Amino acid sequence: GERERGSLDLLLSLPITRLELLLGKYLGLAAALTLSTLVGFGLVAVLLYQHVSWSGLYHYIGFMISSVLLGLAFLSMAVLMSVIARDRTRASGLAIAMWFFFVLVFDLLLGVLVATGGSFGGDAFAWLLLLNPADVFRILNVFSLDEVRTLYGLASIVPSSLGSPAIMGGVMVAWIVLPLALARWRFK
């Protein structure tokens, strides 16, 4: 939208680099997204504090942090889409297509796995899930609770070593950094 309105030319004429502009936009949006997510979940945490143990609250805080990371990953991809697109209409179309792919189409892999009785993909399937930030979020939160891990189907596919919070957190950070790096390269 800034390109169409001409405000991008004005911003680029200021004594800041393109990287500073891109990071400033991203960090401003990221701060708003993070603050609103933490406040929303935090209010519920205050209510839960009276009814759950510290262990439950610890896992809830982990869920809050992983939700923020998922939001930042999709925000990073949205910034990349906005740099690639020439106008608002294309950017909106790319954003919808990106959401459709990651949330609906990519999960068809799970359907193929179920339809083939787990024989399709084998060990490679768990690694394919890392190519989707929504699935990384799912793995991160499923593997954080032992009770849920045994009830959820991903536990039979994803090795427990891959379900470690540190590894999955690192993958989520990569989903934040890599699209931003591509956006920086394209915006240059």
Residue-wise pLDDT tens digits, 25-62: 899 999 999 999 999 998 888 888 788 777 778 888 88
Burial class (CB in 10 A: 0-12, 13-18, 19+), 140: buried
pTM of the model: 0.82
CA distances from 145 to 45, 61, 165, 187 (A): 17, 13, 11, 41
158 or 97, greater pLDDT? 97
Say which residues have a Cβ less than 8 Å from residue 55's Cβ, sequence separation at least 6. none
Q: What is the pLDDT of residues 156-177, one digit of tens each?
A: 666 666 767 888 889 999 999 9
Burial class (CB in 10 A: 0-12, 13-18, 19+), 15: exposed
Q: What is the mean pLDDT of the chain?
A: 81
Backbone torsion region of residue 159, taken as left when φ is above 0, otherwise alpha when ψ lies between -120 and 50, otherwise beta: beta
